[in-house]
Chains A and B, each alone.
Chain A
Amino acid sequence: MSVPPTFAAGYLEGLLAGQPRLPASPLAWLNQLRAEAVDRVGVLTVPTVRDEEWRFTDLSPLTKLSFQPARMPVDLTTVDVERFRIEEAAVRLVFVDGVHVPQLSSVGRDGGVVVANLSDVGAGHAAVIEAHLGRHVEFRDNVFAALNTAFLRDGALVVVPRNVAAATPVHLLFIATQKDAAHYPRTLLVAEPGSAVTVVEDYVTLQQETYFTNAVTEIALGDQAQVDHVRVQRDSGQAFHIANGAVSLGNASRYRSVSVALGARLSRHDLNVVHAAEGAECTIDGLALIGERQLADTHTRIDHAKPHGVSRQLHKCIAGGAAHAVFSGKIIVRPGAQGTNSSQSSRNLLLTTKAHVDTKPQLEIFADDVKCTHGATVGQLDGEALFYLASRGLSDAAARNLLTYAFGAEIIDRISIASLKLWLERTVRDQTARKP
């Protein structure tokens, strides 16, 4: 057996270079949080395939490269970013290489909904930030979350006040422009009790370069809050994308998310959802559509810590070329979390013989009065369906595209924003039409 390489501490030190140049925040606790994160980076190492949580995803392509902190962002105009505009979203926050760019953003006030750059908000929101920032995504044993936290400065803050329903979706747009740069997108969404909001978290690029996106997203739902969350990862095909997300569910709150992974040479998305109070409901759907030599890894954990929670999860992967898709979905039902109702399904489509998928649904149940189902399938396009379409005149390529598209469409259909749905449908069609 070959010994996995251990990474020299120098790699992480290289990533941390430039961190000391961050200006101090006026918030003492935030400076302390960053300092603590820097310390953790010093202690932690980059995971290897020896770590159970990284068994299928070898990070050595990432650690072979060195990334610099992003320089000051290039000047972009609204014309440059027009193609990413989501027409339904009246409110948009734009970050270029991790830095907030107010002139590209539009943040009208919508019923008191706060959509702002984390480092700009006044003392009025300091309390809510302190209560949540760095509290949901655990960075003490997660080197990537620790790195993100060490660089914590600009970031997206969305606060939906009590009983306010945001009228239009909020678009958080993270644009990568610099080759060989590491950037650290950060999002904090707080939906206060009884509020409702739709948020699109969108990772895009202006050029097909190598860079490293290391994102952290924290979402807290108060009692009876409702959050619709769409996450689109359309990074460069040469990029590395590592993201850690955490969601905390209040009493009878409802969280729905659709995550679509299209880009990046190597992507990893960890999402932890905690039913922190009774009667909460979450729907967590995902689609990874990859080809060539891409690797897309999704790790989710749904923690039913309290009774009468509902969770639904449908995760789909479409892998062409020599791509590698990974899904690991853990559902935990804690002692006392009676009346939990949970279903999880992992469905995977392999378009070529070289593509492969590792899927690992896991249930850990410590309560007795629960209803939990899970399952996984891996398959090719159905031969009978291909013949059926051919018998109606469709070419083999057209039939394959249609069936592949249909497989992914089940997830995309769950997105509530029409223009984004249309864009994704077109993208999936174009992507499947290309030679695998």
Chain B
Amino acid sequence: MIQQNGKALLEVRGLCATVNGVDILNGMDLTVSSGEVHALMGPNGSGKSTFAKVLAGHPAYVVTGGTVVYEGRNLLELKPEERARAGIFLGFQYPVEIPGVANSQFLRLAYNTIAVQRGNEELDPLEFDDLVRDKMKLLEMNPDFLDRSVNEGFSGGEKKRNEILQMALLEPHLAILDETDSGLDIDALRVVAGGINQLGTKDNAIVLVTHYQRLLNYIVPDYVHVMDAGRIVKTGGRELALELEARGYDWIGAERGAAAEATA
């Protein structure tokens, strides 16, 4: 939903970034205000996932230009853990398996780290158990996943549920969900999307990074952006996603080519 008085949460201006010396982002602009849901779409290699990782502070991605202001602060100065504590959450496209660390232990550690940052009480294992089981119901997750190692041997769908479970526990101000729909069957997609919808409030914002529009049948975005070659080339409402579904991505490039010719 678009809030009339939604305050700007994230302002990205002219962002450029490289990975292994290759330019991936080339002048990205995006403003996200609280209460909004944005969908970031585009063909493979257009820079969607890179953008998500740059916001979260992945060390392999080097910012070479531009600015990112998050809640009035220079986001690019913050370490990944400081961004997380400031309320940024990245839902991973490929959640990492961590053998030997029980999921419950990991979730509680993350929860308590963020809780302390916000001046809240840490929870002991019993208190946390109540909380996490409650949140798991939202995602129709089997509590057995608490006792297993983090993501180890989880199916694709179980990993994505576990990501959204973390989002539910950490209550981020800005959630960037990278290809959360990939690897989900239709039932899992419905459950995960339902969970995400319940987590959206007027005070937070969600950026959905997705290749296909099917997720947007369940989570209705306020804005749809199309990325190409490392920047946003078209912005519209949800109808743009449907058009992309019907026509693919090629016409956007053609349209831009025609526009460029017209102005030349």
Contacts and interface: CB of A to CB of B under 8 A. Distances in A.
A384 B117 contact: no
B154 interface: no
A402 interface: yes
A402 B101 contact: yes
A64 interface: no
Contacts of B149: 406
A410 B102 CA distance: 11
A79 B198 CA distance: 58
Nearest to B101: A406
B205 interface: no
Contacts of A385: 96, 98
Interface residues of A, number: 24
Contact of B57 (A390, A402, A406, A409): A390
B99 A391 contact: no
Interface string A372-406: 00000000001111011111111110110011011
B101 A392 contact: no
Interface residues of B, number: 29
B56 A391 contact: yes
B95 A393 contact: no
B80 A391 contact: yes
A407 interface: yes
Contacts of A395: 81
Nearest to B86: A393
A110 to B, nearest CB: 34
Nearest to B115: A393
Contacts of A406: 98-101, 149
Contacts, number: 75
B59 interface: yes
Interface stretch (B106-114, B180-188, B226-234): B106-114
B79 A382 contact: no
B90 interface: yes
A201 B35 CA distance: 62
A394 B96 contact: no
Contacts of A398: 109, 113
A393 B81 contact: yes
A56 B113 CA distance: 43
A240 B170 CA distance: 49
Contacts of A409: 100
Nearest to B58: A387
Contact of A388 (B95, B100, B170): B95
Contact of B110 (A392, A403, A410): A392
A392 B117 contact: no
Contact of A387 (B59, B89, B99, B100): B59
B13 interface: no
Interface in A394-434: 394-396, 398-399, 402-403, 405-410
A402 B170 CA distance: 19
Given A402-B101, A406-B101, A390 B92 contact: no
Contacts of B106: 389, 392, 402
Given A388-B96, A406-B101, A410-B99, 19 more contacts: A382-B96, A387-B59, A388-B98, A390-B57, A390-B81, A391-B56, A391-B80, A391-B83, A391-B84, A392-B110, A393-B81, A393-B110, A394-B81, A396-B79, A396-B81, A398-B113, A402-B109, A405-B100, A406-B98
> Closest 3 CB pairs between A and B?
A406-B100, A392-B110, A390-B80
22 contacts: A383-B59, A387-B58, A387-B80, A389-B106, A390-B79, A390-B80, A390-B81, A391-B56, A391-B89, A392-B84, A392-B110, A392-B114, A392-B170, A393-B84, A393-B114, A393-B170, A395-B81, A396-B79, A402-B109, A405-B100, A405-B101, A408-B100
